[in-house]
A and B are shown apart, each in its own frame.
Chain A
Amino acid sequence: MASASTLAPGGIDVGAYAAAPVMPDVLPPVKPKKGFIGFLRRNPTIAVGGFLLLLMLFVAIFAPVLGTVDPTALAPAKRTREPSSMYWFGSDMLGRDVYSRVLYGARVSLLVGFSVAFLASIVGLTIGMIAGYIRLADSIIMRIMDGLMSIPPILLAIALMALTRGSVQNVIIAITIAEIPRVSRLVRGVVLSLREQPYVEAAVAAGTRTPMIILRHILPNTLAPITVQATYICAAAMITEAILSFIGAGTPPIIPSWGNIMAEGRALWQVKPYIVFFPAVFLSITVLAVNLLGDGLRDALDPRMAKRL
């Protein structure tokens, strides 16, 4: 995004310019750094987003050994303590350690974000492929998707959650269903435009069978846009999970999630704002990390797009 112009311009071979004959041959030609480090230097948004996300992943995986106690352990005598050396992020109204709860909360958020991104991509890819390739199915599928898309996604997820008990698994399913229409649409659009490409037409003319064309030419070309889309879905899913838990229709209260912690701190937020503050910061940073990663990937994978957005 933003940095389209500030980023090292991805596709341009700086070395070619440096080696132009009019240049005095004082400095050695600047070569873009190869390999992983070079890639990160050319795409600072990916580097920053990736670093923050890895940090959160680390927190989620190693939550038990990062100085936490049992996040569900009650201590009625030590309720609503301010942040201190004993309670780094304070304690909530049941005396539970907010630091431990926030760290364990990373697990729910990341699990929901990654699962929804993965599932919605797979299902959306399949539906989009079918719609893009089978004309008869196209109109029916797209009508259904249009209908589903006209229900605001959060409302759709809320409605689905109303049907089931609150559990992490149900949250994942509900958000996935709410996100599928968008992916399907994206994939269908890509497939339809790819089918018009000369190399696909050439493959058809050469007698390549349809499954082979899909596997060789269509599928690989949908991967870049779908990867970018998946990161945005991951970010949206994390926010939706937090919203669902916040209004009491998401992750059950027994499992600490950032939305839950905020919901529990809601009644006290005017006097004990830290209970709401810490999960809010963690949630925002994580979503920001995923969004940065998405923007960076989009710029790196599609330089034409990078100029525009």
Chain B
Amino acid sequence: MTAYIIRRVLATIPVMAIVALFVFSLLYIAPGDPAAVIAGDQATPQDVERIRASLGLDRSFLVRFGAWLWDIVHGNLGTSIFTNLPVTTMIAQRIEPTLSLMILTLILAISIAVPMGVLAAWKQGTWIDRAVMGFAVLGFSIPVFVVGYLLAYIFALELDWLPVQGYTALKNGIGPWLQNLILPAVALGGVYIALIARITRATMLEVLSQDYIRTARAKGAGQRSILFLHALKNAAVPIVTVIGIGIALLIGGAVVTESVFAIPGLGRLTVDAILRRDYPVIQGVVLLFSFVYVLVNLAIDLLYTLFDPRIRY
């Protein structure tokens, strides 16, 4: 058990190293010379050269990568070219809306998708099943910003039930916070719900045909207890895996959703950084999102041992 955990944790190191190397190369080959930008228009070539040396930009790729990695490990993601603020500060300012949006979406999606998938598997072949699967195809096909505009148009513009755009910090009360986030969360959750519902149905179908389910039926267990206690528990591993992998969809979708709903989060920060070619910020956000993604999936892998005691590598 402990050996498995240690091995699994160690296995993420090369993955993170590849991500770091990739993200660093991004900055390395990015067009534009940071030294020239910092020196300004009036600078002589000697000035630029001096600044380049003081920034360490004249050193080799590997030396610079090492220095950069050293900074990252110490929580220094560099300075924005555009605002001159540390990237960590900029990320800290923007993290709450994005985190709120993603957590709300996660809760919403799981609590809708899992029952949907279970229901579809239970009623396999009926119109309920077909409706769920039809919804799943639509969920995969309608891009997140299309759903976003559609929801905003119906529920904010036409019905006037919810605010059209914007974000209210959690400290101003959970009501306004939720009001602003509910439409973005539903829009962002579409694909995710489709994904989870589909895998839940598939796994449940497989589990429901197992002998131990027949045994549970034979001993007189109720339908609900069979579905949610016996079957869902045994179907948990693939479902949880997909929930973890699907977080990549959430991260990608958040960038767009925040643009549609004018939420000042990390997604907007990314978009602004792209338009201004603010490479340190792009780098910082990509690095942060990727590390979070890797860590979440690591946590899920370790959770397996709870769901399925047979997993002991």
**Complex: A154 Cα to B270 Cα, angstroms:** 12
Within 8 A of B (CB), among A143-168: 143-144, 146-148, 150-156, 158-159, 161-163
Q: Given the interface contacts A1-B133, A147-B17, A163-B29, does A246 sit within 8 Å of B142 by beta carbon?
A: no
Which residues of B lie under 8 Å from residue A270 when comparing CB positions?
Answer: 157, 164
**Complex: A308 Cα to B209 Cα, angstroms:** 12
Q: Shortest CB–CB separation between residue A182 and chain B, in angstroms?
A: 11
Residue of B nearest to A238 (CB): B143
How many residues of A are in contact with the other chain, CB < 8 A? 48
B14-A1 in contact (CB<8A): no
Tell me which of B17, B22, B30 has the highest count of chain A C-beta atoms within 10 A of its own C-beta.
B22
Which residues of B lie under 8 Å from residue A280 when comparing CB positions?
Answer: 143, 145-146, 149-150
Q: Given the interface contacts A152-B248, A155-B251, A158-B274, does A309 sit within 8 Å of B198 by beta carbon?
A: yes
B184-199 vs A: 1/0 string, CB under 8 Å? 0000000000000010
A148-B142 in contact (CB<8A): no
Task: Say yes or no for B167: interface residue by CB 8 A criterion.
Answer: no
Which residues of B lie under 8 Å from residue A152 when comparing CB positions?
Answer: 248-249, 251-252, 289-290, 293
A291-B30 in contact (CB<8A): no
A248-B274 in contact (CB<8A): yes
Query: Chain A: interface secondary structure?
Result: helix
Q: Which of B46-54, B60-68, B122-130 contacts A (4 or more CB under 8 A)?
A: B122-130
A26-70 vs B: 1/0 string, CB under 8 Å? 000000000000000000000000000000000000000000000
Which residues of B lie under 8 Å from residue A158 when comparing CB positions?
Answer: 255, 270, 274, 282
Q: Shortest CB–CB separation between residue B85 and chain A, in angstroms?
A: 19
Within 8 A of A (CB), among B146-200: 146, 149-150, 153, 157, 164, 198
Tell me which of B125, B142, B146, B164 has the highest count of chain A C-beta atoms within 10 A of its own C-beta.
B146
Q: Given the interface contacts A146-B15, A153-B252, A273-B153, does A6 sit within 8 Å of B125 by beta carbon?
A: yes
Q: Of B16, B282, B290, which contacts A162 at CB under 8 A?
A: B282
Which residues of A lie under 8 Å from residue B198 when comparing CB positions?
Answer: 1, 309
Within 8 A of B (CB), among A1-40: 1-3, 5-6
A5-B124 in contact (CB<8A): yes
A162-B277 in contact (CB<8A): yes
B143-A287 in contact (CB<8A): yes
Task: Say yes or no for B134: interface residue by CB 8 A criterion.
Answer: yes
B286-A235 in contact (CB<8A): no
Task: Say yes or no for B137: interface residue by CB 8 A criterion.
Answer: yes
Which residues of A lie under 8 Å from residue B124 when comparing CB positions?
Answer: 5
Name A's B-contacting residues (CB within 8 A): 1-3, 5-6, 143-144, 146-148, 150-156, 158-159, 161-163, 235, 239, 242-243, 246-249, 262, 266, 269-270, 273, 276-277, 280, 283-284, 287-288, 291-292, 295, 307-309
Between-chain CB contacts (< 8 Å), 20 pairs: A2-B133, A5-B125, A5-B129, A147-B14, A147-B22, A148-B18, A153-B248, A155-B255, A155-B285, A155-B289, A161-B274, A162-B274, A163-B31, A243-B255, A248-B274, A283-B143, A292-B137, A295-B137, A308-B202, A309-B198
